[in-house]
């Protein structure tokens, strides 16, 4: 959606390789979320960043997953040693403005692990 | 028990029908509630917030029942364009999505 740009839009990789997925949000957002959506499934919360607080990593499925947000803006989700079950669409979303709990999503990065 | 639960459907209804979805949540401390719509292979988009007293937006009505910990979405006079997956979202501290209810409106 407008205000959140994700790249790559599609990524095909081999099992065991590392991948980086990027989220470039509009400036002024107050929080940034990563979700994962497997085929035909709902959104699975992974991690969120808010202000300068420590990120809530409670949704990361394993220690192969990590994320960072640099300069309070661009965020990168890294998956190490990818597995076939990591195949999904990875969605980044932001909250805009204080007190607003509405999320604006990016178009997602579709990851396929062969 | 999942934090947010929805009937996955699909709900197949004819044009003009009224259809309702429920969504239950487990965390009684939840404060914010929303319905999102997701079209096939697209990102979710906000449909409407859910207010304590209930709220209406055109053909869509959302309600909250705190005592029973569920929210509902009612769609009147269904259109073909309403075909989508409807996701409920609950916010105790982070935004938790239900798995979605798929609606298919047929002519």
- In sign, the C-alpha dihedral spanning B57, B55, B46, B24 is negative
Residues of A with CB under 8 A from a CB of B: 1, 33, 35, 41-43, 45, 48, 56, 58, 91, 101-103, 105-108
> How many residues does this entry show for chain B?
107
Identify all chain B residues contacting A56, using CB atoms and an 8 Å cutoff.
93-94
Outline where DSSP puts E strands in chain A: 4-7, 10-13, 19-25, 29-37, 43-50, 65-69, 75-79, 88-96, 103-105, 109-113
pLDDT (0 to 100) of residue A71: 80
3-state secondary structure of A85: helix
Of all residues in chain B, the one with the smallest CA distance to A49 is B94
The Cα B52–Cα A91 span in angstroms is: 29
Q: Across residues A72-85, what is the average pLDDT?
A: 95
- Residue % of chain B over a pLDDT of 70: 97
Identify all chain B residues contacting A108, using CB atoms and an 8 Å cutoff.
43
For the stretch B24-45, pLDDT in tens is 999 888 888 999 999 998 999 9
Nearest in space to B101 (alpha carbons), one of B21, B12, B33: B21
Interface of B with A in 17-76 (CB under 8 A): 32, 34, 36, 42-46, 49
What's the mean per-residue pLDDT of chain B? 93
In the numeric block, the tokens 């239950």 are attached to B24
pLDDT band at A35 (very low <50, low <70, confident <90, very high): very high
Cross-chain CB nearest to B91 (options A35, A101, A106): A101
- Is a pLDDT exceeding 80 seen at residue A99? no
């Amino acid at each position: 959606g407008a205000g959140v740009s994700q790249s790559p839009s599609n990524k095909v990789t081999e099992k065991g390789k590392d991948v980086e997925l990027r989220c470039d949000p509009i400036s002024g957002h107050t929080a940034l979320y990563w979700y994962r959506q497997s085929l035909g499934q709902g959104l699975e919360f992974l991690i969120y960043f808010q202000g300068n607080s420590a990120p809530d990593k409670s949704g990361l499925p394993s220690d192969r997953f990590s994320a960072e947000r640099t300069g309070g803006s661009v965020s990168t989700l890294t998956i190490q040693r990818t597995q076939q079950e990591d195949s999904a669409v990875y969605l980044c979303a932001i909250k805009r403005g204080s007190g607003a709990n509405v999320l604006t999503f990016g178009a997602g990065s579709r990851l396929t692990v062969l | 028990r999942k934090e947010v639960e929805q009937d996955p459907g699909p709900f197949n209804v004819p044009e003009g029908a009224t259809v309702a979805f429920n969504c239950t949540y487990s965390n009684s401390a939840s404060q914010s509630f929303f319905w999102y719509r997701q079209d096939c292979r697209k990102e979710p988009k906000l449909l409407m917030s859910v207010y304590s007293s209930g709220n209406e937006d055109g053909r869509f009505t959302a309600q909250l029942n705190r005592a029973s910990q569920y929210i509902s979405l009612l769609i009147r006079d269904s259109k073909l364009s309403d075909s989508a997956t409807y996701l409920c979202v609950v916010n105790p501290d982070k935004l938790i999505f239900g798995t979605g209810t798929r609606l298919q409106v047929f002519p």
